[in-house]
Chain A
Amino acid sequence: MLKINSLTKKYFTRTVLDNLNLTLNEGKIYGLLGPNASGKTTLLKIIAGVTQPTSGSFSVIGKKAGVDTKKIVSFLPTINHLPRWMTVGNCLSYFQDFYADFDPKLAKERITAMGLEPKQKVSSLSTGMLGRLKIVMAMSRHAKLYLLDEPFNGLDPISREKVLEIILESSQEDSTIVIATHIIAEIESIIDEVIFLKEGQVILMGNVDDLRQTRQKSVEELYREVYDNV
């Protein structure tokens, strides 16, 4: 459903993505792993449409990059993209106003389940609560492709668990979820496939259970093996 063709991104003299090719399938949860500066965030930013590749292209269910892909791609960035002046309620109506695939009923239920209240201001939320709000906003769209950049960063264990729950319950046969993270233990049991990025290229990719079987290693151990012997 997501097809990436020889994607390259250069900043000044630095090459962040190096002729990257990748095809992702529907109904799967992917873990996008790699050390800092391996190109994870840049890749997600390009697919979300906030950054342009230097060369190469991608398509989501056959649609070319642009407004058409933005309609079906839901992006959760690491930083806080929700305006600080807004209340939780404002965020809900904002998403409802702009995204045809946003499910306000589901979002409201989740807001309550997360212990958030519509009157709270974004600027008054703790990191944990903000993380919960961000995941609710991103996953309450019935998108085709979800891009989650470090969804567990800075979150307490309870918030992490709640974020995980929402990710799992949102996974559908016709949608794909990509989680970029370095907290591997957290996603070990929920991902189908793993993608290891290094210096802007895919160096290993596969079904996690198959990798466990053939290599007798956990994803975390595999990560160490892949990135240690440099």
Chain B
Amino acid sequence: MFNLIKYEWLRRWKFFLAGILIFIIANLEIISQLSLQKSPRNLTIVLMGLVFAMALALFFDHIGRLYRSLFSDEGFLEFTLPLRGYQFLGAKILAVLLECIALGIFVSIALYVDYLYLNQFFPREAPTPLREDILIIIVQIFFLLLLSYIIFLLTIYLSMTLSKTIFASLKHGKLIAFGCFLVIYKAIQRITEITHSHITDMSLPGIIMARPDWLTLTAILIVLFISTSYLLDRKINL
């Protein structure tokens, strides 16, 4: 299973490296412009655009990872490997998860360093030390975003898998799968609405979402994961 992650990364290390370099260059550019209190120049905008494009590319790449296994010739290699469905899907999701966490940590550190650096130029405001309660909130927001992102990705994965499993022998499998995506997406929305607890306890500082809501999201993730890996394991029709 970890071998699969190894090859996911072996394939993309140049992309990651380029992304990190562009981000660092763009960051340096923005900081230098800000510290000189100049308005952004064209180069700054181009670099920011590049960073945005790389992030977008990573998003499509995340979707594309299972798409490639299901719809390209490489599927004949990946689905003949002696791996169970959950190992296969688990490796794909784990790779995405680790990438997002690494990216989050990297960007946070960069922003914090920027913050400390920029403070030198605005001496009136003393730098706020990193307070624990703020940190907890940031971490919570980050994990909420991550959880939602993985659920969104799994919804897409499940729909794609449906078109190559249950609907594989139908003529408009892909179209039906897209319909499935919409249905599942709506269903998840409904479930989170219904189960939403409205009891975010403001008396406890630093809690952004009640525990039942976390549980709902986690349950949705597990259901999506299990159903997708079951289909990949038993019903695949390349």
Question: What is the interface of chain A, defined by CB distance below 8 A to chain B?
Answer: 10-12, 45, 48-52, 66-68, 70-71, 73, 75, 77, 79-83, 85-86, 90, 94, 97-99
Q: A45-B238, A98-B3 known; A50 and B74 CB under 8 Å?
A: no
Query: Which of B80, B81, B169, B234 has the most chain A CB atoms closer than 10 A to its own CB?
Result: B80
Minimum Cβ distance to chain B for residue A226 (Å): 29
B contact patch SS: loop
Query: Do B169 and A50 have beta carbons less than 8 Å apart?
Result: no
Residues of A within 8 Å of B53, CB to CB, are: none
Q: In the complex, given contacts A73-B80, A81-B76, what are 13 additional A-B residue pairs having Cβ atoms less than 8 angstroms apart?
A: A12-B171, A50-B79, A50-B80, A51-B237, A52-B235, A52-B237, A66-B233, A79-B73, A80-B73, A81-B73, A82-B74, A82-B77, A98-B3
Question: What is the interface of chain B, defined by CB distance below 8 A to chain A?
Answer: 3, 6-7, 10-11, 73-77, 79-84, 169-171, 233-238
Residues of B within 8 Å of A77, CB to CB, are: 73, 76
Query: Do B234 and A52 have beta carbons less than 8 Å apart?
Result: yes
Query: Do A49 and B237 have beta carbons less than 8 Å apart?
Result: no
A229 to B237, CA, bound (A): 34
Query: Do A75 and B76 have beta carbons less than 8 Å apart?
Result: yes
Residues of B within 8 Å of A68, CB to CB, are: 82
Q: A12-B169, A12-B171, A81-B74 known; A52 and B82 CB under 8 Å?
A: no
Minimum Cβ distance to chain B for residue A80 (Å): 6
A67 to B229, CA, bound (A): 14
Residues of A within 8 Å of B73, CB to CB, are: 77, 79-81
Number of residue pairs spanning A and B whose beta carbons lie under 8 angstroms apart: 66
Query: Do A97 and B3 have beta carbons less than 8 Å apart?
Result: yes
Query: Do B80 and A48 have beta carbons less than 8 Å apart?
Result: yes
Query: Do B6 and A50 have beta carbons less than 8 Å apart?
Result: no
A90 to B3, CA, bound (A): 12
Q: A12-B171, A50-B236, A81-B73 known; A70 and B3 CB under 8 Å?
A: no
Query: Do B3 and A10 have beta carbons less than 8 Å apart?
Result: no
Query: Do A10 and B169 have beta carbons less than 8 Å apart?
Result: yes
Q: Choose from B77, B170, B171 the contact partner of A83 (Cβ within 8 Å).
A: B77
Query: Which of B7, B82, B171, B236 has the most chain A CB atoms closer than 10 A to its own CB?
Result: B82
Minimum Cβ distance to chain A for residue B161 (Å): 13
Q: A83-B77, A90-B10, A97-B3 known; A51 and B236 CB under 8 Å?
A: yes
A94 to B233, CA, bound (A): 21
Residues of A within 8 Å of B77, CB to CB, are: 81-83
Minimum Cβ distance to chain B for residue A8 (Å): 12
Query: Do A83 and B81 have beta carbons less than 8 Å apart?
Result: no
Q: Which residue of B lies closest to A53 (CB)?
A: B237
Query: Which of B7, B171, B235 has the most chain A CB atoms closer than 10 A to its own CB?
Result: B7
Which 8 interchain pairs have the tightest Cβ spacing?
A81-B76, A81-B77, A70-B82, A97-B3, A71-B82, A50-B238, A79-B73, A77-B76
* CB pairs A–B below 8 angstroms (14 shown): A11-B169, A12-B171, A45-B238, A49-B79, A50-B236, A51-B237, A52-B234, A52-B237, A68-B82, A81-B73, A81-B77, A97-B3, A98-B81, A98-B83
A68 to B133, CA, bound (A): 51
A67 to B171, CA, bound (A): 29
